[in-house]
């Protein structure tokens, strides 16, 4: 149990729709990172937020965007959903240290 | 850029067998190295880590040693149990900068009674 929670656990959307995924970080952690894990693959870094600012981004298009709130919780927004966006979305929190602690993930299916 | 290469799976072992999952990496500087485990239908759990050369990470009977000369971080366990069945990910993070973690593709372990 890491203390990182994500909602919802599962989600089904259709192509072209928009989705918002949520993450509550572990108490005391000020950094949140988001990852996309396609079936059978390792997680791929989407972006990271530190004290409400995006401070790193992976190779994902601008339709993937995020927010971090003053309590360090975070949202991942994906616009214009595509079939290939179907994946497990993982949130990880950390606090200026080496180790990221992951939540259970949100499984998104795009039809 | 950074990359992590893991041995292909799935790996099938009998209970109490010895486990090795190979992991090699490419990175600039002196990265920290991690093994994460993912049980079916769940997120990632940190299994162990090592932050500098020759460090040994260990947890729950699993061990891995940070070998800078061979850029490797192989995972080992002396006697696996059925409950160890999961997907294991080797990962690295560079020191400094933002905290992007680079993962391998994962190795599925199945332990049979």
User: What pLDDT does residue A98 have?
Assistant: 65
Mean pLDDT of chain A: 93
Query: How close, in Å, is residue A31 to chain B by CA atoms?
Result: 9
Task: Answer whether residue A46 shows pLDDT above 70.
Answer: yes
Backbone Cα Rg of chain A: 13
Q: Contact at 8 Å (CB) between A36 and A53?
A: no
Structure tokens at A8: 């919802």
Distances (CA, A) of B62 to A3, A40, A83, B56, B76: 23, 23, 38, 10, 6
Task: Answer whether residue A16 shows pLDDT above 90.
Answer: yes
CA B27, chain centre distance (Å): 16
Kindly list the residues of chain A whose beta carbon comes within 8 Å of any beta carbon in chain B: 2, 6, 31, 33, 35, 40-45, 48, 50, 55-56, 58, 88, 90, 92, 94, 98-105
User: What pLDDT does residue B7 have?
Assistant: 87
For residues B81-113, one letter each, b for 16 or more C-beta atoms within 10 angstroms of the residue's C-beta and e for the rest, the string is: eeebbbbbbbbbbbeeebbbbbbbbbbbbebee
Size of interface A-B (CB pairs under 8 A): 64
Contacts of B66 in chain A (CB under 8 A): none
DSSP characters over A26-92 = PTT--EEEEEEE-TTS--EEEEEEETTEEEEE-S--TTEEEEE-TTS-EEEEE-S--GGG-EEEEEE
**Cβ separation of B43 and A55 shorter than 8 Å?**
no
Q: Contact at 8 Å (CB) between B93 and B99?
A: yes
User: What pLDDT does residue B40 have?
Assistant: 86
Three-state SS at B14: strand
Residues in chain B with pLDDT values less than 50:
none
Render pLDDT for A59-101 as a digit per residue (tens, 0 to 9).
999 999 999 999 899 999 999 999 999 999 999 998 876 688 9
Structure tokens at A101: 């602690």
User: What pLDDT does residue A97 have?
Assistant: 64
Three-state SS at B47: strand
Mean pLDDT of chain B: 93
Q: How far is B59 from B51, CA to CA, in rounded Å? A: 15
Task: Answer whether residue A27 shows pLDDT above 90.
Answer: no
User: What pLDDT does residue B96 have?
Assistant: 67
């Amino acid at each position: 149990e890491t203390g990182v929670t994500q909602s919802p656990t599962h989600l089904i959307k259709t192509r072209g729709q928009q989705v918002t995924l949520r993450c509550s970080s572990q108490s005391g952690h000020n950094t949140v990172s988001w990852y996309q894990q396609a079936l059978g693959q390792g997680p791929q870094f989407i972006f990271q937020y530190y004290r409400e600012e995006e401070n790193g981004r992976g190779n994902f298009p601008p339709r993937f965007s995020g927010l971090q709130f003053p309590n360090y919780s975070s949202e991942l927004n994906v616009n214009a959903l595509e079939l290939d966006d179907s994946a497990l979305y993982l949130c990880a929190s950390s606090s200026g240290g080496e180790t990221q602690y992951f939540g259970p993930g949100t499984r998104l299916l795009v039809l | 850029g950074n990359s992590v290469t893991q041995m292909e799976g799935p790996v099938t072992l009998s209970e109490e067998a010895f486990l090795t999952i190979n992991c090699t990496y490419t990175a600039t500087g002196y990265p920290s190295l991690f093994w994460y485990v993912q049980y079916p239908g769940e997120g990632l759990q940190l299994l162990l880590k090592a932050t500098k050369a020759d460090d040994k990470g260990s947890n729950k009977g699993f061990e891995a040693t940070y070998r800078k000369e061979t850029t490797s971080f192989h995972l080992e366990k002396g006697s696996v149990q059925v409950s160890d069945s999961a997907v294991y990910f080797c990962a690295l993070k560079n020191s400094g900068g933002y905290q992007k973690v680079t993962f391998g593709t994962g190795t599925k372990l199945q332990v049979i009674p």
